[in-house]
Amino acid sequence: MGFIEGGVTAAKGFTASGIYCGIRRNKSKSDLALIFSSVPCTAAAVYTQNLVKGAPILVTRRHIADGTAQAIICNSGNANTCNADGEQKAQMMCDAAAKELGIKPEDVIVASTGVIGQMLPIEPILNAAPQLIKALSADGSLEAAKAIMTTDTEVKNMAVECTVGGKTVHIGGIAKGSGMIHPNMATMLCFLTTDAAVSPSTLDSALREAVNVSFNMVSVDGDTSTNDTTAILASGLAENEELQPDSEDYKVFTAALTELCVALSRKVAKDGEGATKLLVCNVTGAKSDGDARLVAKSVICSSLFKAAMFGADANWGRVLCAIGYSKAETDINAVDVSFESKAGRIEVCKNGAGIDFDEDKAKSILTQDEINVDVALHDGTFAATAFGCDLTYDYVRINGDYRS
């Protein structure tokens, strides 16, 4: 198992493209992406838990109800959410892509990201469909990844490979996410591809396992988006024996998928709007998996803690405070807290109380761009990890004039 080049086109049978069609005001940024498989695929997806859902989610749910799809089309710059004609336009996007690709509209997954509540201008997308299909390439993953970005500053384009049943299986992914990110699946847009042979139900199970410990453990700002979707297509061209639930091959595949999703999650968290630091909270010794997850996410979501990390202030009391209101069942008087980065490691709290530590060393550790917050609960054997970022002046600036 290891990382490889190629993104969503690393898997056999997939091509991708990304172009500017005219949705965004900034013509230097592409705004329309396509991922296409040369053969029909097994498909699965998970979506936002926000009651307000973008129209593309409603259309996609219908399209992959049979567990199959062959293409993904996504625009940036407009979320197509809270619009009376939203579903109609999402369907029109599928129709346009399907017509040019020579496939059925119901075999197209559709997504949108951007400003909520503004009508999606459909003409630019329809007019650009032939160009989008013409641009499809076996090297097109990077262009597709760029086209789904909004306030992102870093492209999120990765792939892994593993051996399943004696066959090399590839899994690729692109993601977007910088703001409006909070753990409630799916926390952003992520499109995954694989050439593994796998049934819809088994693929769905593997995706949910991977998402549970990756995208569902990310928070940038506590806002759960309306359009969050993580979708995966499996072409089967690796020619492995079809994966069976709970088999060793399934475990290998799911571990590789999870590794990719965690890596993309870290990129999403680190690229949070205005962020300067990736924050990783590692919780050990919890009474249950649920308690471990509650504590890890509570710490990562704390605005006070995030602000302290921006200022490189070893204010461990904010960690204890976040644990205290997390609703996890734990003995707060047994908690240990440490900070760690490439500059070193320092213990700041023992048995729920402060201990003497070198403030200058702590400052040095917390000035790095990746910081681990290690929380030992000493209540049990369960562990969890959550991913977040610091809270900076730029977060307010970016969101203060987002629509402009």
Active site residue 381: no
CA 17 from chain centre, in angstroms, equals: 20
Beta strands in 20-125 (DSSP E): 32-47, 68-78, 108-115
| Cis amide leading into 16 (omega within 30) | no
Q: Quick one: residue 352, left, alpha or beta (phi over 0 = left, psi -120 to 50 = alpha)?
A: left
Residues 6+ apart with CB under 8 A from 179: 150, 151, 220, 221, 223, 272, 273, 395, 398, 399, 402
Helix boundaries (H) for 102-232: 123-134, 141-147, 200-212
CA dihedral 272, 275, 278, 284 (to 10 degrees): -80
Which phi and psi angles does 100 have, rounded to 5°?
A: -70, -30
At 252 the three-state DSSP class reads helix
Q: Are 57 and 176 in contact (CB under 8 A)?
A: no
The amino acid occupying position 319 is V
Report DSSP letters for 189-218, one per residue.
EEEEEE---B-HHHHHHHHHHHHHTTGGGB
CA distances from 293 to 176, 214, 362 (A): 23, 11, 26
Side-chain-facing half-sphere of 52: CA atoms under 13 Å:
11
Question: Of the listed 15, 48, 150, 187, which one is catalytic?
Answer: 187
For residues 280 and 284, give the distance between their C-alpha atoms in angstroms, rounded to a whole number: 13
Residues designated catalytic: 187
